[in-house]
Amino acid sequence: YHNVFKVNGTAFKDCDIPPPSEVLTSGNDTVVLKTPGQKWYICGVDNHCSAFGQKLSITVLYQYGWAPAPAPLAPTPISSSPSLSTPTAPSWPPAPSLPTTPAPTPEPWAPTTLSVPETTVTDPWTPSPISSPPSLPKPTAPSWPPAPSPYPWI
């Protein structure tokens, strides 16, 4: 009912089926993943790949994880040339000016200055100074005898 084709990345993305001579159909086919990198496989039966997404992508890592970073490129020498000129800033046309309107003049009946009555503001979070500590009543001994304890061990 199914088969397997080893394809490249483009054929994998587009579900392009290779020639029938490259198909794996036995059901016991063995695929050995010897080299690191990306491997792609698709089903080539009818529209199984494109309509049903029957495809497989495998990333084979190096024995000790991801591939090492490539060596940096050697710097290329820069030759000095007398024909090089100093870059200049581009010149743009001046920006269009916007029309300006004069500031409105106040009506003759409008006051020229605002008058605000002066008020004293106190900070509600600052405690007011206390001249003397409040007087508390002195405790006095009760005038009745103490009640006997319901607990004899006390």
Domain limits, the chain? 4-60
Q: Are 31 and 23 in contact (CB under 8 A)?
A: no
- The model's pTM: 0.42
3-state secondary structure the chain: CCCEEEECHHHHHHCCCCCHHHCECCCCCCCCCCCCEEEEEECCCCCHHHHHCCEEEEEECECCECCCCCCCCCCCCCCCCCCCCCCCCCCCCCCCCCCCCCCCCCCCCCCCCCCCCCCCCCCCCCCCCCCCCCCCCCCCCCCCCCCCCCCCCC
Q: State the pLDDT confidence band at 10, using cuts at 50, 70 and 90.
A: very high
Question: Number of helices and strands (H, E) in the chain?
Answer: 2, 3
On the question of pLDDT at 57 being above 80, the answer is yes
Domain 4-60 matching CATH 2.60.40.420: the answer reads yes
pLDDT for position 140: 72
pLDDT at 34: 85
